[in-house]
């Protein structure tokens, strides 16, 4: 059986991140087709990269996981200083003109990636020493050190899943060369592919829009939201990292304003690790990190999922919500989310408080259109995010890499 390595910045049941969850469910699906090994770090927290998992080999849901220690925690001040230097083109031009020195952008990029982290030099050594044992490596997330430097070690065996979106970092000059290194790139959406091809002129590289599969919701879960929440009152739900970087501050502010203005009685249920202070409000329930059955029950019974993020390359939780037949209220400024809503006709977009309020009012009013959204949402996921189709695309890419 062909051996495949999946390289990702964090991995584990406790890890609360979209790309990391994407990697985990893909690894579990590929595990029946290949000899899969996940190569990752001992970190759980993506802000500090502190070592929390034990180093070495373990198994998670039947998948072999090899963890390497992070050599240094993230230094935010250094990351920001390097970002400023990389972005300050006028300063670099002045240095070149006055001193006759051409700034070494590659070295500057390597240092930025090291500080951005998670910095795992032992993983790079492992790739150099053991790469012949593997038929291919699948790297997740262009932004972090394991992918940014790992692909440079094994470019001819690399498949990149960029999880890219139009954020400030992707415009750094260091990525011009990087996005032309992989042997193959598998994108999550067509809009992500268009963005990357437009920025880096890398359309000549083998690529496909593979996305990810979404399993059928199933009916075996006997939990119900009324038992979990102790109330049958209607609610909106947010699932993921509770973070201003995910738009959660705006979402919560809109919700509080909605209730303050006398909007219909509804609650906001938050699931996930909190990285911001959540205002005390009688209609906001912060549930923290919950297990899969509780998450599924709360999602299934919600009036709508709210996705306030500006930056998404796929948004698995949006697709999981649609699989459950639950409408989505998504940030209009995120192209991927807007495409999901437009193509499925199973939700709403918002750009400000007024459009947020209209969406919530429509969801609560119900009626024929809201009822139709459930069926359209399920059909959209079944048509576009089928595991059989996704795995065929991965097998094709792996065969291309390994000959």
CATH topology of domain 225-384: Rossmann fold (3.40.50)
Contact between residue 15 and residue 56 where contact means Cβ atoms under 8 Å apart: no
User: SS in 3 state form for 66-121?
Assistant: EEECCCCCCCHHHHHHHHHHHHCHHHHHHHHHHHCCCCCHHHHHHHHHHHHCCCCH
How far apart CA 89 and CA 204 sit, in angstroms, is 28
Under CATH, which number does the domain 3-73+110-213+387-402 receive?
3.40.50.2000
- Please provide the DSSP assignment of 134-161 as one string: -SEEEEE-TTSHHHHHHHHHSGGGEEEE
Show the CA angle centred on residue 395, arms to residues 392 and 400, nearest 5°. 125
Token digits of residue 120 = 């795992």
Residues in the chain: 403
- Per-residue pLDDT tens listing for the chain (403 residues): 899 999 999 999 988 778 999 999 999 999 999 999 999 999 998 889 999 999 999 999 999 999 999 998 877 766 666 666 666 654 455 545 554 444 556 777 778 788 888 999 999 999 999 999 999 999 999 999 999 999 999 999 999 999 998 888 888 888 989 999 999 999 998 889 999 999 999 999 999 999 899 887 655 667 888 889 988 999 999 999 899 989 999 999 999 999 999 877 899 999 998 889 999 999 999 999 888 889 999 999 999 999 999 988 888 899 999 999 999 999 999 989 999 999 999 999 999 999 999 999 999 998 888 999 999 999 999 888 989 999 999 999 999 998 7
Token digits of residue 157 = 């065996």
How far apart CA 199 and CA 195 sit, in angstroms, is 6
pLDDT score of 90: 45
How far apart CA 242 and CA 270 sit, in angstroms, is 8
Q: Could you tell me where in the chain the CATH 3.40.50.2000 domains are found? A: 3-73+110-213+387-402, 225-384
Q: In terms of C-beta density within 10 A (0-12 exposed, 13-18 middle, 19 or more buried), how is residue 101 classed?
A: exposed
């Amino acid at each position: 059986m062909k051996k495949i390595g999946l390289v990702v910045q964090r991995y584990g049941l406790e890890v609360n991140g979209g790309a990391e969850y994407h990697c985990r469910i893909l690894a579990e699906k590929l595990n029946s087709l290949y000899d899969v090994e996940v190569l990752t770090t001992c970190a759980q927290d993506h802000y500090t990269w502190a070592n929390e998992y034990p180093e070495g080999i373990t198994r998670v849901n039947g998948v072999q996981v090899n963890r390497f220690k992070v050599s240094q925690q993230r230094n935010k001040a250094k990351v920001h200083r390097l970002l400023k230097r990389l972005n300050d083109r006028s300063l670099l031009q002045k240095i070149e003109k006055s001193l006759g020195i051409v700034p070494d952008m590659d070295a500057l990029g390597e240092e930025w990636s090291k500080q951005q982290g998670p910095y795992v030099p032992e993983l790079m050594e492992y790739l150099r020493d053991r790469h012949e044992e593997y038929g291919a490596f699948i790297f997740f997330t262009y932004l972090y050190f394991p992918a940014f430097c790992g692909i440079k070690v094994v470019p001819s065996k690399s498949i990149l899943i960029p999880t890219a979106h139009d954020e400030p970092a992707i415009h750094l000059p260091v990525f011009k060369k990087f996005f032309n290194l992989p042997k193959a790139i598998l994108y999550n959406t067509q809009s992500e592919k268009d963005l990357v091809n437009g920025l880096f002129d890398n359309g000549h590289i083998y690529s496909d829009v593979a996305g990810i599969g979404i399993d059928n919701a199933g009916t075996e879960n006997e939990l119900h939201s009324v038992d979990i929440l102790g109330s049958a009152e209607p609610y909106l739900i947010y699932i993921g990292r509770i973070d201003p970087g995910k738009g959660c501050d705006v979402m919560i502010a809109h919700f509080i304003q909605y209730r303050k203005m006398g909007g219909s009685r509804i609650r906001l249920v938050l699931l996930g690790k909190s990285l911001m202070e959540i205002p005390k409000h009688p209609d906001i329930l912060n549930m923290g990190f919950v297990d899969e059955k509780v998450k599924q029950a709360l999602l299934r019974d919600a009036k709508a999922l709210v996705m306030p993020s500006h930056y998404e390359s796929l948004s698995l939780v949006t697709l999981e919500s649609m699989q459950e037949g639950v409408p989505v209220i998504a940030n209009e400024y995120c192209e991927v989310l807007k495409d999901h809503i437009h193509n499925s006709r199973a939700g709403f977009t918002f750009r400000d408080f007024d459009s947020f309020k209209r969406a919530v009012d429509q969801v609560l009013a119900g009626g024929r259109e809201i009822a139709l959204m459930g069926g359209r949402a399920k059909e959209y996921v079944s048509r576009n995010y089928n595991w059989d189709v996704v795995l065929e695309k991965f097998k094709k890419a792996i065969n291309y890499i390994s000959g």
